[in-house]
Structure 1
Amino acid sequence: MNLSRYTRTAALAAALSALLGTGVLAAPATAHPAGPAAPSPGSDHGQPEVRRLIVGYKPGTAQARSDAAVRKSIEAQPQAAGEQAVRFERRLATGAVLLDLKEPVAPGDLHKITSRLTADKDVAYAQPDATVYPMAAPDDPLYPLQWDLYEERGGMNVPDAWPLSTGKGVQVAVIDSGYATHSDLDANIVDGYDFVSDPKSARDGDGRDDNYHDPGTWRLEGYCPAPFDHAVPSSWHGTHVAGTIAAQTNNGKGVASTAYDAKVQPVRALGACGGTEADIGEALIWASGGSVPDVPDNPAPSKVVNMSLGYKAPCSPFFQDSINAAARRGVTVVVSAGNDNANASDYAPGNCTNVITVAASNRNAERAQYSNYGSRIDITAPGGKGGGIGGPDDIGSTYNQGKTDPGRETYGYLYGTSMAAPHISALAALLLQRNPNLTPAQIEQAITTTARPMPSCGSNCGAGLADAAKAVRSVRP
């Protein structure tokens, strides 16, 4: 598998040199507009003082029918010295009434007032008229540069999906290069497995084992057979993909992610010399809950599998059998289309059946110049501009500074259909939280039938650009 062709990061070493000493990418001062507004007071910092109460009365009571009866019952209630007074304001559409407080009250001090009101046998409930805010932007400092999540034109409308789903309770397996420990992602990582069977490619001193961490995929010239015989630094590809799916969000650091309450299971199948069909296929079987000879069964199978990998070839019988086995277990398999600006029908495993094949778009909601295309594409998602050193027109996510072995954690911009696919895997997680009984076919249908058209791409971009909010709203809980 030619991993480098699925994550084109021209002059990666030069891109890494743009990192700040703090380990966070430098952002251009004026090149890109900021994202949505900063968090509103109350959105993540508790409720402000309460100024009004909503009181419901039991059906058939005088207060349920008459405003005058409400006023009379309030005036008749005993009130201790110093207790807050209430005043009838208006009847609400449900039949409940809105009461004004003489003075604002802190949420924690409401108990005396609501207890006094509910002591009336005719009262069904008394609650604060809570202040509701628009969903505020996450406070992750790099979120304003994550156009792929929120920008109206080229983004995937993810923030509008969050009030309904954040991926909680759903696990996504990432079959990739493994995971380099990152504090902005660790809390959402569950144990995976290493399926790289060739010790030389694995770079960890052995073959398959339970260590799913990425030791680095760097190689010197001639280390691997052609076409992997050229020198490259470590890619940290799997860590970047995982961060797009489920980096911790609204934690005051780094980046946000699409399904930030989902879990990621790293399944290592790509090493310094790429990966083999046998390793990748068995990794898929294991991740989806099947048994693999001489490997302990997966104690926590995933419901979604992301495979940002591929090569130019027909879909092999082995790949198709592995994918079919996952599909029979109700697992959604998402695959990147490839980065050769060519027909996706010629690239496996995106040309297999029972997968969601994902093309990449740029910030202008156009097919990215590198992305594969054609009738085999099911959906398009943000993958970045491409064409040079990774930058804010590409996809920002969790990363590592090490050129060879793992170094200090950081954040990096990459581009490719490898970056587009995890947006769709994360969207599948959002849908599965909304309705855990969805089948892979129903998930694909929800994603494709709610996509935004891409007129400049026509039928070459599948159903169009995925819209997370519309897809999530289309699913019944």
Structure 2
Amino acid sequence: MATRARWAGARLSAVVAASAVLVGSVGLTSAHAAVSPTLGYDAQADKGSLYNIAGVVGALDAYRLGITGRGVGVALIDTGVTRVAGLNSGNVVNGPDLSFDSQDPATSNVDGFGHGTHLASIIAGRTAVGTPASYTDPARFTGIAPDANLVNVKVGSANGDVDVSQVIAGINWVVEHRRDEGLNIRVINLSYGTDSVQPSQVDPLAYAVEQAWLNGIVVVVAGGNEGDSTTNLANPASDPHVLAVGAMDSAGTVATADDTVPSWSTDGTDARHVDVTAPGVSVLGLRSPASAADTQNPGARVGTQFLRGSGTSQAAAVVSGEAALLLQAMPNLTPDQVKQILMGSASGLNNVSARMEGSGTTDLRQALRSVPRTVVDPAPWGTGTGSLEASRGSFHIVVGDGTAEETTLLGEVDVFGRAWNAVQWARDTQKGKTWRDGAWMGNTLTARGWTNTGEAHKSWPTATWTSAGAVLADGEWAGRMWRDGEWAGRMWRDSAWSGRMWRSGGFSSAGWF
């Protein structure tokens, strides 16, 4: 298909060259540059620094009030987290690895794709454990909620491959284990979606996030990076019961007068569009060295630790961090109240339609002053009894090595090829009983529970998968693993923020934004 060639040839070379020029000159001239030898960039002048972004959304003000996300858990359902410096100070917990990489101990939990690590650092990265006041120091690397517990729930493999059934299993696990080990998971970051147009009232993925919401978890979902090529938000951002996030370009200032929404942030409709926007352009997050994003985007590297990326994924990560700060300050808030406060305190942008910005850009300064009110959500809740195949949209994975024996995963079956019983799954999800020990809906995906790995927190161990009674041993995975039939090169591409920085727009074909 035509999208497979987007990363090929001279276009990539030209774009990377353009981005390499911009990486060294964002928002300042060389004469005024004050590049930190530790960070590799000027945190006060570079609009993509998390120090600057924290200033834009009001997180710095929260730190000055002693609010850092402590005691709040954020589950990142993504491509894993590599414990690089900045994510190795004790607040990252390995939940289950439900990805295809889980079958190899060398790749389990870690991020071979580069997406999850980038977002984890935005949400809860930190140079080291510090005091609230220390997190206002521009010389430190600090995520939006630096003291939150970041729970790594890996579903995407090293090439981004994931089936919607794996994502659903990850959401189910978070709901059923949200109180484990004192994690207090109150937020899910889901920078993933499909192009399904199945109504959310019946869609299984939408039902999974709705059940998380009803169990007290704020589900923050990226709206998508398809611009005006579609008027539909990605599924499940299209569900009215989640907090859907679009990207905003802050131009590197706290003032809102110069803020815009980039053209690639997905348009919505009058009936359903993003709820809020947050900075999502040229964001400086941590690299996962040798990952796909890192190796295919060398022009996006900054210093030795960082990678510059744009997308609604990054914007969602910013809002997930903000939600954690708000929940530390007001722990009794319901998800509906968190959504109402963040929308009600947002700042509208100039000459930007609600279809692009929703209520505007989040502002924690105002949010923390808000008085919670009772919220009655009039939107109908789903049943989850719709089609799993329709939930995939056009995004399918295939098993095989490109030969004639290659098979696409289609129909009402999960990632193991087992028949999908929507009614039974929806009933078990509502009851919180989809998982039993390490088995999800009868499929053994992990071992039985938390184990002591000598880290600040225990980790959830892996297990050997089975499919139709056959063990998927290491030998089976070489050249015959599941892969995304529509992926083929649509990596995070260099085409955002005027000239153009690398961004995650290409992930829409594989589901990652």
Q: TM-score range by the shorter chain?
A: 0.5 to 0.7
Q: 1:474 to 1:304 in 2, by over 3 A?
A: same
Q: Which residue of 2 aligns with 1:212?
A: 109
Q: 1:462 to 1:346 in 2, by over 3 A?
A: closer
Q: 1:182 to 1:311 in 2, by over 3 A?
A: same
Q: Which residue of 2 aligns with 1:238?
A: 116
The 3-state SS of whatever aligns with 1:311 is coil
How far does residue 455 in structure 1 lie from its aligned partner after superposition? 2.7
Q: Deviations over 1:237-280 (max 9, x none)?
A: 10000111111154886632211111211111112252211110
Q: Deviations over 1:162-219 (max 9, x none)?
A: 22321111111111100112111222212222112xx3xx3x5459x994222x13xx
CA contact 1:168–1:262 (8 Å) conserved in 2? yes
Distance between the aligned counterparts of 2:320 and 2:363, measured in 1? Answer: 13
CA contact 1:383–1:416 (8 Å) conserved in 2? yes
Q: Which residue of 1 aligns with 2:72?
A: 170
Q: Which residue of 2 aligns with 1:181?
A: 83
Higher helix content, 1 or 2 = 2
2:45 matches 1:157 = no
Q: Deviations over 1:120-175 (max 9, x none)?
A: xxxxxxxxxxxxxxxxxx99965322457566999323212222321111111111
CA contact 1:267–1:283 (8 Å) conserved in 2? yes
Distance between the aligned counterparts of 1:166 and 1:16, measured in 2? Answer: 38
> Which structure would you say has the larger RCO, counting Cα contacts within 8 Å and 6 or more residues apart?
2
Q: Deviations over 1:408-461 (max 9, x none)?
A: 972110000011001111110011100111100000011000000113212121
CA contact 2:50–2:144 (8 Å) conserved in 1? yes
Equivalent position amino acid for 1:372 in 2: T
Q: Which residue of 1 aligns with 2:404?
A: none
How many residues are treated as equivalent by the alignment? 326
2:285 matches 1:381 = no
Task: Write the mapping of 1:71-220 to structure 2, written as runs, cut at 5 A.
Answer: 142-144=42-44, 145-147=46-48, 155-164=56-65, 165-187=67-89, 188-196=91-99, 199=100, 202=101, 205=103, 211-214=108-111, 216-217=112-113
- The match for 2:213 among 324, 327, 330 is 327
Q: Deviations over 1:314-349 (max 9, x none)?
A: 246211221122112100000000001035534211
CA contact 1:173–1:306 (8 Å) conserved in 2? yes
- The match for 2:190 among 307, 313, 320 is 307
Equivalent position amino acid for 1:453 in 2: G
Task: Write the mapping of 1:260-275 to structure 2, written as runs, cut at 5 A.
Answer: 260-271=146-157, 272-275=159-162
Q: Which residue of 2 aligns with 1:396?
A: 284
CA contact 1:141–1:253 (8 Å) conserved in 2? no
Equivalent position amino acid for 1:366 in 2: T
Equivalent position amino acid for 2:72 in 1: V
- The match for 2:141 among 252, 255, 274 is 255
Distance between the aligned counterparts of 1:263 and 1:148, measured in 2? Answer: 22
Equivalent position amino acid for 2:95 in 1: G
The 3-state SS of whatever aligns with 2:76 is strand
How far does residue 368 in structure 1 lie from its aligned partner after superposition? 1.1
Report the structure number with the largest CA radius of gyration: 1
Distance between the aligned counterparts of 1:405 and 1:382, measured in 2? Answer: 20
Equivalent position amino acid for 1:457 in 2: V
The 3-state SS of whatever aligns with 1:259 is coil
Q: Which residue of 2 aligns with 1:444?
A: 339
Q: Deviations over 1:374-433 (max 9, x none)?
A: 23210011111xxxxxxxxx1001112315599997211000001100111111001110
2:461 matches 1:463 = no
Equivalent position amino acid for 1:472 in 2: L
The 3-state SS of whatever aligns with 2:320 is helix
State percent identity of aligned pairs: 27
Distance between the aligned counterparts of 2:182 and 2:360, measured in 1? Answer: 36
The 3-state SS of whatever aligns with 1:275 is coil
Equivalent position amino acid for 1:195 in 2: L
Q: Which residue of 2 aligns with 1:473?
A: 369
CA contact 1:142–1:255 (8 Å) conserved in 2? no
Distance between the aligned counterparts of 1:351 and 1:34, measured in 2? Answer: 44
The 3-state SS of whatever aligns with 2:151 is strand
CA contact 1:169–1:262 (8 Å) conserved in 2? yes
CA contact 2:71–2:183 (8 Å) conserved in 1? no
Equivalent position amino acid for 2:124 in 1: A
Q: 1:444 to 1:405 in 2, by over 3 A?
A: closer
Equivalent position amino acid for 1:370 in 2: W
CA contact 1:141–1:254 (8 Å) conserved in 2? no
Equivalent position amino acid for 2:28 in 1: T
Q: 1:382 to 1:154 in 2, by over 3 A?
A: farther
- The match for 1:288 among 163, 169, 175 is 175
CA contact 1:368–1:383 (8 Å) conserved in 2? no
Q: Which residue of 2 aligns with 1:345?
A: 232
Q: 1:300 to 1:337 in 2, by over 3 A?
A: same
Q: 1:150 to 1:344 in 2, by over 3 A?
A: farther
Distance between the aligned counterparts of 1:260 and 1:306, measured in 2? Answer: 15
Equivalent position amino acid for 1:246 in 2: A
The 3-state SS of whatever aligns with 1:159 is helix
CA contact 1:359–1:381 (8 Å) conserved in 2? yes
- The match for 2:244 among 339, 346, 357 is 357
How far does residue 15 in structure 1 lie from its aligned partner after superposition? 5.5
Distance between the aligned counterparts of 1:182 and 1:152, measured in 2? Answer: 21
Q: Which residue of 1 aligns with 2:315?
A: 420
